[in-house]
Structure 1
Amino acid sequence: MTTPCLRLVTPDDADELAAVYVENREFLAPWEPVREDEFFESDSQRAAIERMLDEHAADRMVPFVILGPAGEIAGRLTLNNVVRGAFQSASVGYWVREDLNGRGLATRAAREAVDHAFTALGLHRLEAGTLLHNVASQTVLRRAGFAPFAVAPEYLRIAGRWQDHLLFHAFAPSPRP
């Protein structure tokens, strides 16, 4: 049995997560919103984690850390905007730090998140978006069972400007009759 590479984030992760963000600030900058300097501090990470865990307790989010080969924090994956009722859906966002990029961790984490969403959470649909030129992330999503379905113009403000995104979705397996 393979050791899971996802686990729920905890406030105790704040220092390590802040250090990983600092080390990867330049690497992540083209793929994320512009971050204020305080974002990279342990106290800000701890406060953000506490807010995310409150959202998790309210069944609106599942904030994971991605674990590397030695159990260190290799990145983040979050199931965001969990919507219940007739929709039963969530959005997926993730990143892996530069020194562990390209080793299959994001794909493995995405697959685990899909399984968690469809089994433990009972969701029907997941959605994720990538910048049009982010072929690596598109490959991760395809390998995790997602399919592209639309281009969203000016979808998110990334790296300081509104950018188009390729949207992907995945559906829970239909129950057999």
Structure 2
Amino acid sequence: MHVELINRNNLDKLYKFEVDNKKYFAEIGFPRKKEYYEYENFLLSSYGLIDEQIRDLGYYYLLMDNCHVIGRINISQIIRRPLNKGELGYRLGKNIQGKGYGTKGVSLVVDLARKKHKLHRLEAGTSSENIPSQRVLEKNGFRKVGIYEKYILINGIWLDNVLYEKIL
């Protein structure tokens, strides 16, 4: 298992991952608009992410098992001086849930955030209901710092968002 940045050469693999997990992501409350799955729109969206990487605004990693995308781990909303921080987010394919891939993938990206991207801090949030995601963050040394009440709408229900941070 390894991570690699989104680039023009791996977009077809990413598209397959997104299409294969479309129903699952919708079931857990994180659907994408149907236009996202139109290939040309998917490419335009992905080119925007590649541009953000070039401009040091975000880094969008694919979690790879051999040559297959099994998840995405992103560092987005990067703010440099004086904060030098980014927001960590991730989504894993349905078939790999609960097997330690998320914990290992986040560990790899946290290491890159510190060594390659020279960030000082990562922040992350997860719904109060998403205990596995909270475990991934805690196993990677993130600490809980607060809760936003009724912050995220998932499947028609407003859920609290648990906030985490990690000083790198």
Question: What TM-score, normalized to structure 1?
Answer: 0.86
What's the CA shift for 1:6?
Answer: 0.8
Instruction: Flag structure 2 segments of 5+ consecutive residues without an equivalent.
Output: none
Provide the residue aligned with 1:164 in structure 2.
Answer: 160
DSSP 3-state at the match of 2:87? strand
Aligned Cα root-mean-square deviation (Å): 1.8
1:78 is matched with which residue: 68, 74, 77? Answer: 74
2:36 counterpart of 1:39: yes
Query: Residue 21 of structure 1 aligns to which amino acid in structure 2?
Result: E
What's the CA shift for 1:45?
Answer: 2.1
User: Counterparts of 1:17-166 in structure 2 under 5 Å?
Assistant: 17-68=14-65, 70-159=66-155, 162-166=158-162
Provide the residue aligned with 1:175 in structure 2.
Answer: none
Native 8 Å contact 1:5 1:108 kept in 2: no
Percent of aligned pairs with the same residue?
Answer: 26
Counterpart-to-counterpart distance in 2, 1:142 and 1:37: 33
Deviates more, 1:17-26 or 1:110-119: 17-26
DSSP 3-state at the match of 2:129? coil
DSSP 3-state at the match of 2:47? helix
Counterpart-to-counterpart distance in 2, 1:48 and 1:167: 27
Q: For this pair of structures, how many residues does the alignment match?
A: 168
Query: Residue 87 of structure 1 aligns to which amino acid in structure 2?
Result: L
Query: Residue 20 of structure 1 aligns to which amino acid in structure 2?
Result: F
Question: What TM-score, normalized to structure 2?
Answer: 0.90
